[in-house]
Amino acid sequence: MIEQEKRKQIIALMHRQIVPAIGCTEPSAVALCAAVAAKLLPEGTVPEKIEVRASANIIKNAMGVGIPGTGMIGLPIAVALGALTGDPADQLEVLSHVTPETVKRGCKYIDEQRIRICLFPNPPAILHVEVTVTAGGHSARAVISGSHTNVVYTEADGKVLTDKCAATDHGEACQKDIELDMKTVFDFATTAPIDEISFILEARRYNKAAADYALKQESGHCVGSTILRYGAPVFGDSVLSRVISYTSAACDARMGGAPVAVMSNSGSGNQGITTTMPVVVYAEETGATEEQTIRALTLSHLTSIYIKQSLGCLSALCGCVVASTGASCGIVYLMGGGYPQVCSAIKDMIANLAGMICDGAKPSCSMKISSGVYTAMLSAMLAMNGKCVTQAEGIVCDDVDRSIHNLTSIGREAMTETDKQILEIMTHKC
């Protein structure tokens, strides 16, 4: 068993990286920033103008995603609601109190052209947003950088209130985090006292509720409900079809703007869903015990956190690659596999899904997630059957940590130009 102090550090890391969020985390971060800035104006003052400057990846992930409870997409309504009605204390659930009346106010605000959104060139972090609000001769500014809730700077009427060192691309939190490796992740998940990690069941509660919501109502592209209701002749009535459908459904709800919270992982709701639901459904379908479920979920979530430590946030590599790799590890554990089989599953995932691009948050993310979940199940089965991609193949190495870092170096560095081209295409479509 990992010694107590190290366990405490890992648990603290998990608590920082696994948090509830309503809607896509990028527009939620911008809404939070707007709420922080608006609260710095004199009490009772309503912003008259709002200027938002955001990094390219923020804009990319906010362009086509539904905003919860509004029936609308994109940043303007998120900014308006954050500034007019948002409470900074709600963090990534800042859009949780949307009502028809607040949406009406937000739409009026947009129609009056009170919001200006522009690209922040050469930001200090990949995730970076600045919001300036003005009203009645007063002004205030807030800056979030590095991670979705990391407020690094606030100012009111020219007086600096907060001025922290801006975070790096990997986020402020990662600079202070314990550095993981795959063996540590596995040992922690499989040996930590169960009472220390049982909090991970909150991820099951949140994300299963999101899936149930989408399966009862039309959400997003209805990928999950389509597979569940109409896919039997093709997919069969199987564990695999249910794993894919429930995971995709939760994403359908989130990306479609459903007013439901999900448990995120490393700043991504979709990543939180994908690390959770395949494990939850497989555990239920196979009669796993509560302890087995807790340990499998811990392994899945912590594997994803580990991979994101070196990948960083908002890369051109789709987060479903990371999250479904974690899910595959959790499923291997539920199948009775040990560390060698977990490593094999990771290598098989890398060999299959490396290169899947992120072209922004949007309803069709559920389709990518369905592909990732299928591959997670396939990789788990191959690993349990003793089949593993070898060092002679592609970017995979014998060493699992080296294989992971090969993947993340491509996503973090080599795909930088890809990311720029994706944004260029997205922002210049007719």
Please report, rounded to a whole number, the percentage of residues in the chain having pLDDT higher than 70. Answer: 97
268 belongs to a structural domain: yes
pLDDT of residue 97: 87
- Parallel/antiparallel/unpaired status of strands 66-67 and 49-54: unpaired
169 pLDDT band, cuts 50/70/90, is very low
Specify whether the CB–CB gap between 11 and 251 falls below 8 A: no
The confidence band for 165, taking pLDDT boundaries of 50, 70 and 90, is low
- Cβ(191)–Cβ(2) below 8 Å: yes
**90-104, 122-136, 243-257, 410-424 — which is least confidently predicted?**
410-424
Mean pLDDT of 380-404: 95
Tell me, yes or no, whether 6 lies in a domain: no
Same domain, 359 and 421: yes
Query: Do 239 and 335 sit in the same domain of this protein?
Result: yes
pLDDT exceeds 50 at position 167:
no
- Region 166-188 average pLDDT: 71
Distance CA 154, CA 36 (A): 8
Single out the residue of 338, 323, 343 nearest to residue 388, CA to CA: 343
Question: Given pLDDT bands bounded at 50, 70 and 90, which one contains residue 164?
Answer: confident
Tell me what the mean pLDDT of segment 230-256 comes to.
Answer: 90
Same domain, residue pair 222 and 323: yes
Q: Are residues 130 and 242 in the same domain?
A: no
Of 65-69, 166-170, 370-374, give the range with the top mean pLDDT.
Answer: 370-374
pLDDT at 173: 41
Among the candidates 100, 135, 163, a domain finishes at: 163
Question: Token digits for 278?
Answer: 């395949």
CATH number at residue 41: 3.30.1330
Give the chain's end-to-end CA distance (angstroms, integer).
57
User: In the predicted model, is pLDDT for residue 313 greater than 90?
Assistant: no
Mean of per-residue pLDDT scores for the chain: 92
Residues 45, 184: one domain?
no
pLDDT tens digits, one per residue of 282-297: 999 999 999 999 999 9
| Domain count along the chain | 2
* pLDDT tens profile 323-337: 999 999 999 999 999
Query: Does the pLDDT of residue 360 top 90, yes or no?
Result: no
Residue 244 CB partners (closer than 8 Å, separation 6+): 224, 227, 235, 370, 373, 374
